[in-house]
Amino acid sequence: MRPRALYVVPDHANPSGIRMPEPVRRDLLDLAEREDILLLEDNPYGLFPRRGRRLPTLKALDTGRRVVHLGSLAKTVFPGVRIGYAVADQHVEGGPYLADLLAKAKSMVTVNTSPLAQAVAGGRLLEHGCSLVRANERESEVYREGLDRIVDGLARRFPDPSASGVSWNSPEGGFFVVVQVPFDVTDAVLERSAREHRVLWTPLHHFYDAAAADTESGVGSGVGPLRCLRLSCSALGPEDIEEALDRFAAFVRSR
């Protein structure tokens, strides 16, 4: 059976934080053209690079209408609005654009998105000239600082990864850092971390199927090893991040 579509998160994917390089994006578009498949580009984190420029989205590079671009205002405008959007300019044979059909299907499934939520999102966009980039300048700086604090804070608390067995990736943006530890990361271990050290994190194996979760690999390899976990900075201020890292370090050393 031939695949009809491929779902990808090119920018700072959850949970790995990995970003797809621009040459790989162009190669993927060429592959989609050759194999006649649709690329579903989910881009909730693309506005939050840690440093440097934002890479062009797959949709921005798309010349053959091979990409459906998906975005989330819940990640960029206000979490409670729970509003997303799609750029789907593909022509449907004998009908309108794919976007029109998606809008019709959505209206039948959900009846309607909250008018109040739409007003909040619309007001934020109008306030910033309908630019998501300008509307998120403050948030981008907050997330950038948070990610730097996690990465730099881990380096201060675990200065010798070879001795501690603790290592981590250094994402180019987004909210997440993957940490590899020298013990199995189970739900029971998470419960102990929360109860005894009052710090939460996410076991990485929950993001993968059982076969992948049972394997061990390096941080950022794309496999969900049982000895990796995810830290997030999306809802914490600078002082909270430092305190959380102190608690996390104490928890790791207790193991």
The confidence score (pLDDT) of residue 222 equals 42
Rounded to two decimals, the pTM is 0.86
Give, as one character, the DSSP assignment of residue 102: H
Q: H helices of 111-218, where? A: 115-127, 132-135, 137-157, 161-164, 187-192, 210-213
Give, as one character, the DSSP assignment of residue 194: I
107-143 core/surface letters (b: 16 or more CB in 10 A; e: else): eeeeeeeeeebeebbeebbeeeeeebeebbeeebebb
Residue 194 has pLDDT above 60, yes or no: yes
pLDDT tens for each residue of 201-237: 999 999 887 655 555 444 444 445 789 999 998 888 9
CB-CB contact of 194 with 181 (8 Å): no
CA angle, residues 116, 87, 79, in degrees to nearest 5 = 35
215 vs 96: which has the higher pLDDT? 96
Find out whether the peptide bond into 79 is cis, omega within 30 degrees of 0.
no
The confidence score (pLDDT) of residue 30 equals 97
Q: What is the mean pLDDT of residues 88-114?
A: 88
Most confident of 111-115, 134-138, 140-144, 150-154: 150-154
